[in-house]
Structure 1
């Protein structure tokens, strides 16, 4: 009985780790002092014309400030080199420590099929400097 409970518990732990990993879809976080920023997509692959939703999360202890309402998001097709932007209000946009913000790319219907990378950068100034990127695919 005890071994059954242990196996059952381990199965849920492994499943939780797999689901947690699947939710982050190849995000990377960079700055000189450690992980403070995470960029994820809601799934790893999209059909052409489907809206791509990005989530930026401040993992640090200070407010991060971004150059516009789309967090300075830039998107590039890794296969063709073509770059895409997101229409955004030109206002400094903060994300407080521990909080997140979503940005959607609805113009994906103009995008060609291929492998993509999206990146965001803080505005600099008195805000900590951080960059994050995530890879995804359009089919």
Structure 2
């Protein structure tokens, strides 16, 4: 996948439950490569993997399986359109990936290739037009430095 990942800066953030016994860990794209144009990727994909874990976090084996799926998606053959992963969250018995893409069909094709290699994954996939990147911008605005 031609992920626009070079010269980007990633960061992490956490959110705790009011009771303090659960946490959600976020890995997110903090800064983009110089000259990056969000307008070229108007479609947002959200991939959700629900699991049962201790205090809302996945077991090590399941987390490794999630990471393998993410890696497989990144290396799936495609036509070269841009795909930008922007947020990965883990906690509260859910891992969620958010990608912005140039071509909806290309991303669907890449996902199909990944799922053929790794059948039976408990994934829910949604897509929606978001040319202003509202979901990403709202998340970024909620993060305190």
TM-score with structure 2 length normalisation?
0.28
Select the structure that is richer in helix: 2
TM-score with structure 1 length normalisation?
0.29
